[in-house]
Amino acid sequence: MDLDLTSKSAVVTGAGRGIGLAVVRTLIAEGVRVMGAARTITPELKETGALTVSADLSTADGVTTLMDRALTELGGIDLLVNNVGAGDDVEPVGFLDTDDTQWIRVFDLNLLSAVRASRAALPSLIEQRGAIVNISSINSRLPAAGPVAYSAAKAALAALGKSLAEEFGPQGVRVNTVSPGVVRTPLWEDPDGFGSKVAAGAGAEHGAFLQQIPEAFNITTGRITEPREVAALVAFLLSNVASNISGADYVIDGGMIKTL
């Protein structure tokens, strides 16, 4: 299938690893000019050939730095992928163990980064009749006991996407959401990451825990999702092949969610 994305310009946040890095690779393979933003510019991101910006996207100044650079160096923005989220400091804790500082930090990164980036990009997106994809999570539909702030922020991000689609759709801008389940990323695989903390809380060895996730989480396909699979869905939704899809929330979780 020809996605007809050649010569489009895109901004991808949280591009240094995981889903964001896979999206950058996929879009570049489709001929898109990409600016990838991350707090740390990884060697893997550099190797893609994308333009890069090091910025803390949990802050207004960080988003401003990114979008000013993108508008200048790309000459406009056709596509925006608000992927940055989670963060290395997300803890699998409940409501009473989540203080105001943690709530603010999680919402700044997972919600307000998308608010700020979308606001800055929308004049160009309207001119180009472009598209936005926000990366949420199945936590927005299946909020667990923890991390409660993360689940709430991702639910708000999904609601934001619906609102933006409704407001700016008549001006030619499509906005959709992708909500992954467990994806094979550093969030789950790093020895000091979120997955390791969840394993420790369950009294399990990290490697064994990762192998047991499909069964423990009742994933129908029997495996977790690969980043490139999420990236393929994102690229499709950004393309004109999906030109009449807007305001939708696509779950990619191997069948983990059982309800309608």
- Active site (catalytic) residues: 150
Beta bridge partners of 249: 177
CA atoms within 13 A on the CB side of 72: 8
Q: How many other β-carbons are positioned within 10 Å of the β-carbon of residue 36?
A: 30
CA–CA distance, 30 with 5 (Å, rounded to integer): 6
| Cα angle, residue 52 at apex, residues 6 and 1 outer, rounded to 5° | 25
Quote the tokens at residue 140.
């927005």
Nearest CA to 1 out of 179, 249, 172, 240 is that of 240
